[in-house]
Amino acid sequence: MIDVTFPAASLDAEGRQRLADELTKHLLRAERAPDTEFFRSITWVFLHALPAGDLLVAGRPVDGTVVRVEVTTPEGALSDRRRAELVENATLAVRELFGMPEEDALKVWVICREVPEGSWGAGGQVVRFQQLREAAAASQGQEAAAFEQAQPVT
């Protein structure tokens, strides 16, 4: 799950769609989950576009763009190396989409949160990380089988 908070005027509707797509891609890559319709369907992005005056820095309305990206994953989904990869790629994607120069990278905060095992639920039941791993493996197996079936026989 990804929550992004930013000044509303800093990104149009097309940019918001691109932001959601890019962050989804980077999270799935960092988790080493397959970028399939199923995994995209369970990777939710909440965009919180705040009106002018509702985003403050040092108690004053923001002058320019600041962006907070909060990524919530099941415990164990990201190693330290993968978390660092996600932070780097998410920051770069945000900077590019918002037109922020490199010197403004400190105005992009990426916060990674882990939900303890047994504390994530969907569809009225607790979802275990191992279930997601198994679904990823099955999805990758189905893609490989579909690829093999699509190859011409020589």
Could you tell me which of 70, 69, 65 has the C-alpha nearest to residue 107?
65
Query: How many domains, in total, are found in the chain?
Result: 1
Strands 125-126 and 121-122: antiparallel
Q: What is the pLDDT of residues 103-149, one digit of tens each?
A: 999 999 999 999 998 888 888 988 887 887 777 677 766 654 443 44
Query: Residue 106 has which token pair?
Result: 């400190």
Which residues constitute the domain of residue 136? 2-150
Q: What is the pLDDT of residues 36-73, one digit of tens each?
A: 888 899 899 999 999 989 999 899 998 889 999 999 99
Report the CATH number at residue 99: 3.30.429.10
How far is the C-alpha of 2 from the C-alpha of 27, rounded, in Å?
Answer: 9
